[in-house]
A and B are shown apart, each in its own frame.
Chain A
Amino acid sequence: MLSFLSRRLFVAFCVCVTVSALSFALMFLSGDPAIAIAGAGGRAEDAEAIRIAYGFDRPLIVQYLDWIGSAVTGDLGQSIYFNLPVTEIIGNRVGVTLTLGFISFLVALAVAVPLGIAAALRPNGWIDRIALIIAVSGQAIPSFWLGLMAIVVFGVWYGMVPISGAESWQGFILPVIVLSYYAVPELMRITRSGMIDVLATDYVRAARAKGLPMHLVISRHALRNAVLPLVSLAAVQLGQLLSGSIVIESVFALNGLGRLAWESLLRSDLPVVQAIILVLSLLYVLLTTCADILNAVLDPRLRGAT
């Protein structure tokens, strides 16, 4: 386990370095950042002054090390638009997105996993058919439409929930439902197919031949093996949910990361964009690393145990 852990963490570290280099390079992708900051009407002298003020005249490697050095101490630079520390701006917005993402993820898992198991136990049975309908509609209906319809029906017609904003917890109900609805199909289908595969294996037959009752066969023998692919998928899905949905946050007027990224792009507020990309990439690295470690805990073959 120890050698697996150290190998996996080393890989994660390498990915982090690559990711940070890429997001640093983004700054220069759209041309000379000094000219971008100076604006369309800026003179050459202004650009030159900005170049010196921001340190763009130094060698790239020095700039990168300087940037990454401050990044690890929590300083992600200044927003050009707000003229505030980027960390502070992201900090103000991240709560909404994390809350929405985590709750939606838990709701999606709570729906998808039992549904997938029930569907796998009787393929083509009525539960399986309902699950299929949910999966297909979830993948086919655009989220902005579903979000707007949910607002119209439950917010406007029935007035059961607030139609926008995150001032009260009720404001999260509709966005959580809509967001988790999009995470359910994939999670459900991978649970179902994993369970169907595992239920057909000899070791499940052998477990039944031992006289174990069906619920133990499923929970102890089948589920443990069937969740391995689910863990990997769930990590990526959680990453998507936590990185904030531009559409959902816009439809429900939630001030989360997704909207901040979108607005910052429109304003050419590169330090903010760069910081969001860095934070989200590192989040993905963290989540996939955790998923791999969790899988290794579940499956001894992965951690090289005997």
Chain B
Amino acid sequence: MLLFGKVQVGDTVPTLEVPVTARTVVMGASSSRDWQPQHHDHAWATTRAGTKDIFLNTPNQAGWIERYLTDWTGPYGRLGRMRFRMRRPVYPGETLVFNGTVRETAVDESGCAWVDVDIELTVGEDVATEASARLAIPQDEKDNPWRRSGDDWRP
């Protein structure tokens, strides 16, 4: 369990490397029930959308970012807010590398402990996606952000 007292501004989230294959892209599209052709149809992607190949879809990237963060926090980490911007598509054959840095830590008026993390998803030298996330993590062993609701949950 990652506790709030163990996190400081400037801490880094352990790097994650994901080799992206056609299966990664198609399974990502399937699991998000996204059948837009640019995520499974190579011919359509290249001739109609004008991209190099099929590419990771948006919800799947959100899923990878969540997985990256909760690998770090463990199950008590609860996503409050997530923002990301795609700079360029991510294609089969590329390796997607996740790096994150803690930008801010805070405890709100309800006592909820928040960690803000900036994340970059890179392919080689390119930043493919920029993201930021706000996660609630426990202040101590008795705290559980998942029990929060209503006015006690203000992401």
Bound together: no
Listed in ascending order, the chain B residues whose CB lies under 8 Å from chain A are none
